[in-house]
Amino acid sequence: MCISPKNPFLVRSARPGSLILPKPRSPANSVRFHRVAAVAAARATAIDLSDPEWKLKYQRDFEERFNIPHITDAFPDAEAIPSTFCLKMRSPTYINNKDRVLLKVINYSSPASAGAVCIDPDCTWIEQWVQRAGPRENIYFRPEDVKAAIVTCGGLCPGLNDVIRLIVITLEIYGVKNIVGIPFGYRGFSDKNLPEILKVVQNIHLSGGSLLGVSRGGPTVTEIVDSMEERGINMLFVLGGNGTHAGANAIHNECVKRRMKVAVVGVPKTIDNDILHMDKTFGFDTAVEEAQRAINSAYIEAHSAYHGIGVVKLMGRSSGFIAMQASLASGQVDICLIPEVPFNFHGPDGVLKHLNYLIETKGSAVVCVAEGAGQSFLENTNAKDASGNKVLGDIGVHIQQETKKYFKEIGVAADVKYIDPTYMIRAVRANASDGILCTVLGQNAVHGAFAGYSGITVGIINNHYAYLPIPEVIAYDKSVDPNSRMWHRCLTSTGQPDFL
């Protein structure tokens, strides 16, 4: 097995009734990871593997957790009417409510397999299905009675306007005429007048940003639902990340508590690609593509200078997907640093020692670092932003300064350039891949609302679109698995050692 004995991510051997889980991934994430691991292990150990029906019981538990809320849960007598969505096909077909999408597609034969997460020592295969997304033959809202609202929260992300546009267009196809935008995130619910957006969306996808504006924080859930009730909003489409989705789920629960017939549907928006279970989130492909431009610039600067070193900092608070995939795609990165994999700057196996080796052997080097990497080296101010996220230190500037200091101390000339393209990447228009993803997500969000589902989000899973209950996608951030084939591919591309 070609793995460094220092690697802290080796999967531990299984014990009956326990999940095969990696060790905590970094000091910054250890509390979160232990909480998640404990929850997952508790679910596994609650099942007696000596029970011949344990597999069936495990499946039932999964089905209960991934069952998505429906209007009829609170309103059993809610009337289903024929869909007003016109499928322009020779033989119109709809999605059956019993259609499912397989959540996990790899049948691991051993806990030692790359990326394996097993329920028992034999890695028993258990089918896990989630609800297929798409238009239903029957709907639970009359279009003429619908007042729909769209809100975009958090930061900018390529594709926001694309999703807004398709939500509006699909609502219009159903026959909805009353569509408003909530300006600048949840705080817009406090505004007296909400803009109607039916007639202004046709070409908004041709530019980046958000037609509605974005912000963090906002009123309380009670105040938001009060505003919805006062305005007669009975469909709410929420575009945002984990925190925004937590808010959407709280809004859904408050509406259920008040017995309001409202559909609350989320569309995951996180450029970091850190939403659970999804293949990817919109804006991610565009971010990787744009990040390569920054990496290429750093490479040219470094390659053209005497002992040149280019440092590029990319998005990724707790997940290093952008840095990993941009490094892999560019083929120009020598060192990739992500939050999930701890590293040392100094010492015989540190990053700086390897940079010196690269300067001696290649004459130049490129470092790509995710913004959340190496936070243990920076001062912890305990400051938080309006969304409650920890304010990160600037690891890119730290690497630049430490690199200059190191080479000065050893008497080697080094020309260190630092590039931070964060805001340039966030503000661009979605590329073709993300444009298609946004189109289908926007359509399926509306289909889910009209089908009577609420407290759900929509995403792509194994190249198929599915509905998931919000709590299951916000339990914790999806992160790069250091045992995964993708991370190993990245290491093969960079050629970097273990920095521990």
**270 assigned ligand-binding residue:** yes
**241 assigned ligand-binding residue:** yes
> 152, exposed or middle or buried, with CB in 10 Å at 0-12, 13-18, 19+?
buried
Angle at 211 between CA 209 and CA 214, to 5 degrees: 65
Q: Are 478 and 273 in contact (CB under 8 A)?
A: yes
**425 assigned ligand-binding residue:** yes
**371 assigned ligand-binding residue:** yes
**97 assigned ligand-binding residue:** no
How far apart are alpha carbons 134 and 96 in whole angstroms?
9
**299 assigned ligand-binding residue:** no
All residues at 6 or more sequence positions from 143 whose CB lies less than 8 Å from its CB, including other chains: 84, 174, 175, 176, 177
Q: Are 201 and 163 in contact (CB under 8 A)?
A: no
Partner residues linked to 336 by β-bridges: 368
**77 assigned ligand-binding residue:** no
Q: Are 459 and 278 in contact (CB under 8 A)?
A: yes
**315 assigned ligand-binding residue:** yes
**15 assigned ligand-binding residue:** no
How far apart are alpha carbons 187 and 224 in whole angstroms?
9
Query: Where does 317-465 have alpha helices with state H?
Result: 321-330, 351-361, 395-409, 422-426, 432-450
**492 assigned ligand-binding residue:** no
Annotated catalytic residues are 272
**424 assigned ligand-binding residue:** yes
DSSP assignments along 292-353, one per residue: HHHHHHHHHHHHHSTTEEEEEEE--SS--HHHHHHHHHHS--SEEE-TTS---SSSTTSHHH
How far apart are alpha carbons 272 and 319 in whole angstroms?
7
State residue 292 phi and psi, 5-degree precision.
-65, -30
**12 assigned ligand-binding residue:** no
Q: What residue type is 206 in one-letter code?
A: L
**460 assigned ligand-binding residue:** no
Q: Are 313 and 275 in contact (CB under 8 A)?
A: no
Residues belonging to the binding site for substrate are 270-272, 315-317, 371, 423-426
Residues belonging to the binding site for ATP are 155, 216-217, 241-244
Residues belonging to the binding site are 155, 216-217, 241-244, 270-272, 315-317, 371, 423-426
